[in-house]
Structure 1
Amino acid sequence: MPARQALLHRVPMRHPGDTATIEALFDSGALDPRQVVAVLGKTEGNGCVNDFTRAYAVQALSFMLGRRLGEDPEAVAARIAMVMSGGTEGGLSPHFLVLAVGEAAAPNPAGALAIGTAFTPDFAPEEVGRTPQVLATAAAVRAAMADAGIADPAAVHYVQVKCPLLTSERIAAAKARGMSVATEDTYHSMGLSRGASALGVALALGEVAAVPEAAIGTDWSLHSGVASTSAGVELLRNEVIVLGNSPAWAGDLTIAHAVMRDAIDLPAVQAALRGAGLRPEDGQLPPGQQERLAAVLAKAEPSSTGLIRGRRHIMWDDSDINATRHARALVGGVIAGAVGRTDIFVSGGAEHQGPDGGGPVAVVARRA
């Protein structure tokens, strides 16, 4: 009986609008553009409110896919999840992860990577960072699980969410209607949006029983071990991608995850690698193992205490470089050292995504 098969291609980008490597996949026959369901990207912007590399990449992808599919670019962007995470500090390499769904003759009884996507409605500015965003995200996660054919939350290993943020214009629009917003600090709105989205994932997967609105951005004991949320100016809704394992899917890709307890938790990275069937025997994957590594996805966040294992860090005190930029570089370096590659998807801002100062790390690999 035919089964769905998850496909994942990791390709470099020369700049945020560079889609040439994805088009090369289409031209070579390695991938059918009709199979694409999501694209994740690490772009070389600052990852903050005014990081328009994200919007630039989404626009370039929408026009390219629209041309390839003979569709309006806006229609393509409406149904294909395009999650761009800004910031490739340190040695991180800008790249795309193209997720697609094909068909195989039969499923893999041992289980294989399963992909599901879903979208929330657009949020009004007064809903961002508040209960409506939590509940809508939880509903979208459940819908994405259903799309992937995953019923057991324990089979979900990574949930990527792209969420909106507040701008001065959006705040003014809310005020003009007599509405208040969660914050008038546009940068802080990124954290609240990420946090509300992550708690929506936790609620959907049963990691938390309830989410009081006052807990968003304050109660770090409430968190998800598989959520990765990224805020951007380029959208008004949440876009949700669920990755897990299912015996109903075909192929040799599998996913595993672990939770880093802090930014230098190398053993957690190695645990995720082992969970995906890889062997970091001497601290770094040997070349043969590196070839089976399809993707690494992780969150990075400076600890709110200003300490890492009792020693002071200055990430929150640097007025020149944003704290999340420091964190991406630090966590990116730890993971790169473990896997021997720098094209890894490290997203900054881990509010309610793992414990304070830590975060989830997921590994997609091909079985031996």
Structure 2
Amino acid sequence: MKTRVHRFATAAPDDVSPLRRALGEGEVNADKVIAVLGKTEGNGCVNDFTRALSTLALTRLFSEVLGLSDEAVAERIALVMSGGTEGGLSPHILVFEVMDEPALSTSPGLAAGVAFTPAFLPEQIGRWAQIDATAQAVREAMARAGIERNEDVHFVQIKCPLLTSARCDEAARRGAAVATTDTYESMAYSRGASALGVALALGELEPAQLRDAAVCHEFGLYSGRASTSAGIELMRNEILVLGNAPGWDSEFRIGHDVMADALDADAVARALARVPGDGAGELVALLAKAEPSRNGLIRGHRHIMWDDSDINATRHARALVGGVLAGRTGHTALFVSGGAEHQGPDGGGPLAVITRALIS
């Protein structure tokens, strides 16, 4: 088996022209694509419709090329759009192909698998139902990727839903209570429950530790390999599991670590050191989470990210962490996602690097 990863710059949320060219020239085989991750230049908040616009444009492109309905495309390709490219972050998409080809080496290579949860009812978002369904879907994605050991998983990227006033009202009409009626806060609950589902699936936490009341309250419970992003454009979780496994071609490989805080650029070197094989090779993608520390401090100095009424804290965090990591890597097309509830320690977050072996 072989996973290939392609990175394309985008000129707008609905710009699929670079991918269209790659498909037309045979650089990418649409029939082999299992997931597309993207950073769009919206605000990353409830009303960030750049995510939906990008999802729609990609769905229509694959529908056209594959000769499938939009619904059929949605059932075979995970489209994970993360809003917000504040600071110097560059909008881009990452396209993942999986091909049934023999591995050219015995070293473990990048393994990838996708899975989807059923659609959630509004009252299930941010609660045990979402945790449990996510854990089941992560295990399913691992099985599809042929990853047998939890420790071989290096990153789990999830797109999850959020609550709108209409969704809250629909639940209330049925007599159901949602986790929160604050629609922005619901993004945190959904991200947090999804991350705890990853932790449960990978054995980072035990079932007895998890309950509704833990979500967005007990932040000592977290996954070191989960990255979750909430959006208005769906009501289920779409999951991409990435790891290294035998039997997968080692041209592409992945390594991960956890940023201890927003300034922990050394996490890049630590993640690269965990990439198997001789030498890390060319950096193809970097995926990371960003979250302001809840105590208002970064290495003993005060920050005001939680106190700015004009710019949301997650937007501050994306810009800060994006700048730190761009300075370390020399690249701005980085998948930095804000909102790291239960994703790494307070003020830090999981980070992964995908590399491609250099051709000698």
Q: TM-score range by the shorter chain?
A: over 0.9
Counterpart for residue 200 of structure 2: 203
Match of 1:294 among 269, 284, 306: 284
What's the Cα RMSD here? 1.5
| Partner residue in 2 for 1:15 | 12
1:333 is the counterpart of 2:323: yes
- Partners of 1:269 and 1:295 in 2: how far apart? 11
Q: How far, CA to CA, are the matches of 2:264 and 2:195 in structure 1?
A: 21
Task: Look up the SS of the partner of 1:104 in the other structure.
Answer: coil
**Residue 253 in 1 paired to residue 252 in 2?**
yes
The question of whether the paired residues in 1 share the 8 Å contact of 2:2 and 2:103 is answered with: no
Residues 302-346 of structure 1 show CA distances to partners (whole Å, capped at 9, x for unaligned) of 001111111100000001101000000000011111111000000
Alignment check: 8 A CA contact 2:158 2:238 kept: yes
- Alpha-carbon distance between aligned partners in 2 of 1:102 and 1:173, rounded to the nearest angstrom: 42
Corresponding position: 1:217 with 2:216? yes
Kept after mapping to 1: 8 A contact 2:2/2:102? no
- Give the Cα separation in 2 of the matches to 1:30 and 1:367: 18
From 166, 172, 175, the equivalent of 2:169 is 172
SS in 1 for 2:305: coil
Q: Is the 8 A contact 1:298 1:361 kept in 2?
A: yes
Q: Which amino acid in 2 is paired with 1:174?
A: A
Matches of 1:307 and 1:150, distance apart in 2: 39
Contact 1:277 1:367 in 2 (8 A): no
One-letter identity of the residue aligned with 1:147: R
Whole-angstrom CA distance in 2 between matches of 1:92 and 1:249:
31
Which of 29, 37, 61 is equivalent to 2:58?
61
Structure-to-structure mapping, 1:268-279, within 5 angstroms: 268-276=267-275
Question: After TM superposition, what 4+ stretches of structure 1 lie above 6 angstroms from structure 2?
Answer: 277-280
Q: Distance in 1 between matches of 2:45 and 2:132?
A: 25
Structure 1 position 278, deviation (Å): 10
Distance 1:110 1:278, change over 3 A: closer
Give the whole-Å Cα distance in 1 for the aligned partners of 2:28 and 2:178: 43
Matches within 5 A, 1:1-368: 4-106=1-103, 108-210=105-207, 211-276=210-275, 292-368=282-358
**CA offset at residue 277 of structure 1?**
6.7
Q: 1:277/1:110 Cα in 2 relative to 1: closer, same or farther (>3 Å)?
A: closer
Q: Aligned partners of 2:100, 2:133: CA distance in 1, in Å?
A: 31
Q: CA deviation at 1:251?
A: 3.8
Q: Distance in 2 between matches of 1:140 and 1:318?
A: 37
* Aligned-residue offset at 1:279: 11
Whether the 8 Å CA contact 2:54–2:81 is kept in 1: the answer is: yes
Residue identity opposite 1:317 in structure 2? D
Q: Are the equivalent residues in 2 in contact too, given 1:107–1:247 (CA < 8 A)?
A: no
Partner residue, 1:286: none
Counterpart Cα distance in 1 of 2:69 and 2:105: 36
Which amino acid letter does the alignment assign opposite residue 253 of structure 2?
A: T
Contact residue 228 and residue 360 of structure 1 kept, 8 A: yes
What 5-or-longer segments of structure 1 have no aligned partner? 281-288
**Tell me, which stretches of 5 or more residues in structure 2 are unaligned?**
none
CA drift of 1:107 comes to 5.2
Decide whether the 8 Å contact of 2:286 with 2:334 is kept in 1.
yes
- Normalised to the residue count of structure 1, the TM-score between the two structures is 0.94
**8 Å CA contact retained: 1:127, 1:133:** yes
Q: In structure 2, how many angstroms separate the alpha carbons of the residues matched to 1:278 and 1:321?
A: 43
